[in-house]
Amino acid sequence: MLAMANTESSGDTARPWQCYNTAYTNAKAGMEGVDKEKVQRIVYEMSKGSQYFKNEERKEAFIREKIENMRARCAKLKPADLAHYQTVADKIILELEATRDLSRIWVHVDMDAFYAAVETLSDPSLKGKPMAVGGMSMISTANYEARRFGVRAAMPGFIARKLCPELIFVPTDFKKYTYYSDLTRKVFEKYDPNFVAASLDEAYLDVTEVCKERGTTGEEIARELRAGVHDETGGLTCSAGVAPNRLLAKVCSDINKPNGQFILPNDRMAVMTFISSLPVRKIGGIGKVTEHILRDALGISTCEEILQKSSYICALFSHSSADFFLSVGLAIGGTDTPHVRSRRSISNERTFSATGDEAFLFCKLADIAEMLSTDLQKEGLRGRTLTLKLKTASFEVRTRAVTSQKNICSTEDIMKHASKLLKAELPVSLRLIGLRLSHFDEEKVGAPSDPTQKTLTYYMLSGDALRKNMGDQSSLDLDSTDHCMMHGEETCLSKDGHQTSSCDYRDPLDENHLSNLDDSKSTSGNFEEKEEIYESTSNANAEKMNANDNQNEDNVQDVVPLLGPGYSFPDQFEGSSLDRVNSVTKTLGDVASSSVSQKEFLLWVNDYKCSICGIEMPPSFVEERQEHFDFHLAEKLQKEESGTDFKTCVLKKRNVPKDHIASQRKHKKQKPSPKEGKHIPIDVFFVKSNQNF
């Protein structure tokens, strides 16, 4: 049908912000009386022209193109084709309907403005005032007072401040959130010992048994449970959704948010009426892109329209994606208790002000490698696949992976591979570097290992090892379904089922899948036809963010740079760098260290090739940056052992107090005094020009 052309805007009357949808397009609790147009305009004004904005526009153009292709495909479908797909769809619908299970009572519990509520609990003076948790670059969430100004989760702090000048910023503190999360889980356990934690602040409980035993209803259980949470935590409120499956329970918990609950009876008529008018975007697994595709390519905005256009769904999407969409239309999904799955990957990434300075980049990489190694150690994990993630100054994200034969976990092994991956991308100006390790060693560890103590402790405290865990480590997951989207496997997963995890979170909903649409093929750029897509769900825990912002907030002192004029490192680096001093020193084997004059050093280095973090630098690398380094050499001739003339040294970059930076800007040549600031060492090796590293 051609009739699907949606009327877009009614003319472009100079209101560009109305077209800027890149974010905050979904309705959120607490945003009812907000002047949406005004918020939209401010967000637009603050964003337009930025690299971030340009990248968003690029991505959107890409999606629009994809949608155009889908529409073209739809237009080419002949009546006979549609009739065929309709029979396919009807068959799937019949099968799905046969699996409908209205016998279970699921409760989805979601804490209200969780991080913000916890912070308010620990500092009551925040009560009643607009507040956000996070920093200037990004906030994790905001309390309801702030939401009235349009401030919300995943919004950059500087924009939030523009929307609400008196907004109070509170740094994130995961220990607190984890602590309170555990308290809530203690309550959940009473109603369902196998409850599925979807994140620190969310959980799914199958209260069918409790209701039966106590001869009560899901509504009463939810009320009691919420009171229990409020009690146990000393004041935190939460909202609950009660429904026959997880997919619906999740939607229901949002209806009377904050501090409310909504019950959807286990009655087919009630369920179908409920799902009919529900916007597809409310369903877990359907995000901004999928919503966009369904609306602009197929004219689908509500769940009932999925069923009305079921033939198109089957014509455009893969079997598994079609299955997912149709089950959404039928309000089917997530009635079983998912298995616990262990984590699949572990990662660390950091954002900094964009730079192309190679020494700085390698430094950062080393910091991240070390953080990752530390986390790995905590969990007792080792893995084979290392993935380097980069975000360029223009916000383009790239990933580069390598899989080694043996499992790795040490900073050195990680750097060995990571530095090669990074080197292959140079030159490039970056704003973020990340490292992820996956493909874990089968048998994990055993037991009592070591450093995982915190985790183990957690486990014990929490009781069973199943889900609950916290944040970091493992995760739990549960949920259901995860679904898988795509073809094939649905058999395995399909509706619920599935596996799960171990620890913390995951998604419970299930199913999902969705897709992408169509699209295409290529991974990169083009697309064209093809089909399928998918979607997925999942969640994660992620709770660590804003590493940069948190720390200092205001003043930061910053640092200096290593090389290259004009850098100002946000102090984010300080902490990890310090730690690294010790490990690097150790790595080098306690080499005696001695300061060498710059002149002396250059003379000496002239006969050598230089490598940083295992990467050979261009011939003029050191000379070009000499004035930015503080050369404290720890040199040592290793020829006795290796037979080669091999020198190692620790090249340190300095963090300098703010004043220095200021003065440096004024008198550009001024050099920071070597006595101030912290030193961040980088492994540097030199070998005779005619030799190899």
Ligand X SMILES: Cc1cn([C@H]2C[C@H](O)[C@@H](COP(=O)(O)OP(=O)(O)OP(=O)(O)O)O2)c(=O)[nH]c1=O
For the annotated catalytic residues, the residue numbers are 202
**Residues 470/458, Cβ–Cβ less than 8 Å:** yes
What is the largest distance, in Å, between two alpha-carbon atoms of the chain?
Answer: 87
Nearer to DNA, 104 or 506 (CB): 506
- Among 545, 584, 612, 687, the residue binding DNA under the rule CB under 7 A is 545
176 binds, among DNA, ligand X, Mg ion, none (CB under 5 to 8 A by kind): none
Residue placing its CB nearer to DNA in the complex, 250 or 609: 250
Which of 397, 460, 461, 637 is in the footprint of DNA by CB under 7 A?
Answer: 397
Beta strands in 51-100 (DSSP E): none
Per-residue x/- mask for DNA, residues 117 to 146, rule CB under 7 A? Answer: -------------------xxx-x------
- Least distance to ligand X, CB of residue 268, Å: 29
Q: Contact residues for Mg ion (CB under 5 A)?
A: 110-111, 114, 201
Cβ atoms of residues 153 and 140 within 8 Å: yes
Please name the residues in contact with 265: beta carbons below 8 A apart, sequence gap of 6 or more.
271
Q: Which residue in 73, 420, 530, 636 binds DNA (CB under 7 A)?
A: 530
Report the residue from 143, 178, 387, 611 that binds DNA according to the rule CB under 7 A: 387
383 binds DNA (CB under 7 A): no
Q: Which region, judged by CB under 7 A, interacts with DNA, from 155-163, 234-242, 579-587, 659-667?
A: 155-163
C-alpha span between 473 and 346 (Å, rounded): 8
Q: Which of residues 255-314 bind DNA (CB under 7 A)?
A: 284-291
Using the rule CB under 7 A, which residue among 51, 407, 410, 626 binds DNA?
51
Rounded distance between C-alpha atoms, residue 421 and residue 68, angstroms: 36
In the list 475, 557, 576, 611, the residue contacting DNA (rule: CB under 7 A) is 475
Closer residue to DNA in complex, CB, 507/630:
507
Judged by CB under 7 A, which stretch of 42-50, 307-315, 455-463, 644-652 contacts DNA?
42-50
* DSSP letter for each residue of 520-566: ---SSS---S-----------------HHHHHH-S----B--SSSTT
CA distance 447 to 685: 39
Q: Spell out the residues 6+ positions from residue 464 whose beta carbon is closer than 8 angstroms to its own.
A: 193
Closest CA to 150 of 69, 31, 302: 31
Is 576 among the residues that bind DNA (CB under 7 A)?
A: no
The site for DNA, by CB under 7 A, has a size of: 114
Minimum distance, C-beta of residue 136 to Mg ion, in the bound complex (Å): 23
Binding piece for DNA, criterion CB under 7 A, among 73-81, 298-306, 383-391, 612-620: 383-391
CB < 8 Å & 24+ apart, contacts of 83-87:
83/311, 85/310, 85/311, 85/312, 85/314, 85/315, 86/310, 86/311, 86/314
Query: Is 42 a residue that touches DNA (CB under 7 A)?
Result: no
From the list DNA, ligand X, Mg ion, none, partner contacted by residue 287 (C-beta under 5 to 8 A by kind):
DNA
Residue 200 in contact with DNA, rule: CB under 7 A: yes
Q: Taking Cα atoms as reference points, which of 272, 215, 211 lies closest to residue 242?
A: 211
Provide, rounded to whole angstroms, the least separation between the CB of residue 349 and DNA.
4
Q: Which residues bind ligand X (CB under 6 A)?
A: 29, 110-115, 140-141, 153-154, 201, 257-258, 545
- The pair of structure tokens assigned to 169 is 């910023």
Q: Quick one: CA dihedral 279, 282, 288, 294, positive or negative? A: negative
The reply on whether position 50 binds DNA by CB under 7 A is: yes
In the complex, what is the shortest distance from the CB of residue 60 to DNA, in angstroms, rounded to a whole number? 9
Q: Contact with DNA (CB under 7 A): which of 128, 158, 235, 450?
A: 158
Q: How far is the CB of 541 from ligand X (least distance, A)?
A: 9
Q: For residues 506 and 628, which CB has a smaller minimum distance to DNA in the complex? A: 506
- Residue reference for tokens 């994606």: 321
Q: Using a CB cutoff of 8 Å and minimum separation of 24, what contacts does 254-257 make?
A: 254/29, 254/110, 254/282, 257/29, 257/30, 257/110, 257/112
Provide the minimum distance between the beta carbon of 254 and ligand X in the complex, in angstroms, as a whole number: 7
- The binder of 6, among ligand X, DNA, Mg ion, none, by C-beta within 5 to 8 A per type, is none
Task: Identify which of 245, 230, 11 has the alpha carbon closest to the alpha carbon of residue 121.
Answer: 230
Taking the least distance from each CB to DNA, the nearer of 200 and 650 is 200
Which CB, 186 or 487, lies closer to DNA? Answer: 487
DSSP secondary structure string, 128-184? TS-EEEE-SS-EEEE-HHHHTTT--TT--HHHHHHH-TTPEEE---HHHHHHHHHHH
Q: Which does 318 bind (CB under 5 to 8 A by kind): ligand X, Mg ion, DNA, none?
A: DNA
Minimum distance of DNA from residue 330's CB (angstroms): 18
As given in the structure block, the two tokens for residue 511 are 């199913």
- Reduced to 3 states (helix: H, G, I; strand: E, B; else coil), residue 266 is coil
Tokens of 467: 């889900």
Q: Output the smallest distance, CB 661 to DNA, in A.
A: 10
Phi and psi (nearest 5°) for 374?
-65, -45
Least spacing, CB of residue 543 vs ligand X, in Å: 6
Gap between the Cα atoms of 297 and 188, Å rounded: 42
**Interface with DNA includes 355 (CB under 7 A)?**
no
In angstroms, give the least distance from the CB of 112 to Mg ion.
Answer: 6
Partner whose binding site includes residue 258, from Mg ion, DNA, ligand X, none (CB under 5 to 8 Å by kind): ligand X
88 binds, among DNA, Mg ion, ligand X, none (CB under 5 to 8 A by kind): none
Q: Judged by CB under 7 A, which of 213, 443, 554, 640 binds DNA?
A: 554
> Which of DNA, ligand X, Mg ion, none has residue 434 at its interface (CB below 5 to 8 Å by kind)?
DNA
Cα angle, residue 259 at apex, residues 256 and 263 outer, rounded to 5°: 45
Pick one of Mg ion, ligand X, DNA, none as the site partner of residue 493 (Cβ within 5 to 8 A by kind): DNA
Distance separating alpha carbons of residues 119 and 405, to the nearest angstrom: 46
